[in-house]
Amino acid sequence: MMRFGYALAAMMLAGGCFAEDADEGAALYLDYCATCHGLDLDGQGPMAGVLTIKPDGLRMLASGNDGTFPVERVVKRIDGRDPLVSHGSPMPVYGDFFEEFDVALKTSSGQPIMTSKPVSDLVAYLKSVQQ
């Protein structure tokens, strides 16, 4: 158990080297998310019609959460820790790209959540487009 604590601390320190990049997140969104969630982040992408559960509009995540962007929920949904079966398999359908845990983000409670640099960038982008 002690080893895990040291490993987690080391990853968090290493994660401090990475800055969230909303521009990179926007590019990732277009490559990986817009097909379902839409170019306007409205949940009306071209694949939305074939999904059992329709994709959420992503510009209202904070307003639907008492004005606080739900970092933990978004991270876990993207990286597959909170899977959605509407995609035919747990999200993401892009495999290992989002599964690294080398960046720490703070949740609304101040607790860190480990994720990957691409997920961190997507979160920065999604935060930047909230209404």
Tell me how far apart the alpha carbons of residues 109 and 24 are, in angstroms, rounded to a whole number: 26
Q: What is the pLDDT of residues 33-65, one digit of tens each?
A: 999 999 999 999 999 888 888 888 999 999 999
CATH of the domain at 8: 1.10.760
The pLDDT, as a whole number, for residue 23 is 95
Query: What integer is the mean pLDDT of 9-18?
Result: 46
Mean pLDDT within 114-122: 92
- The whole domain housing 12 covers 2-128
Rounded to whole angstroms, how far apart are CA atoms 95 and 18?
A: 22
Total domain count for the chain? 1
pTM (two decimals): 0.79
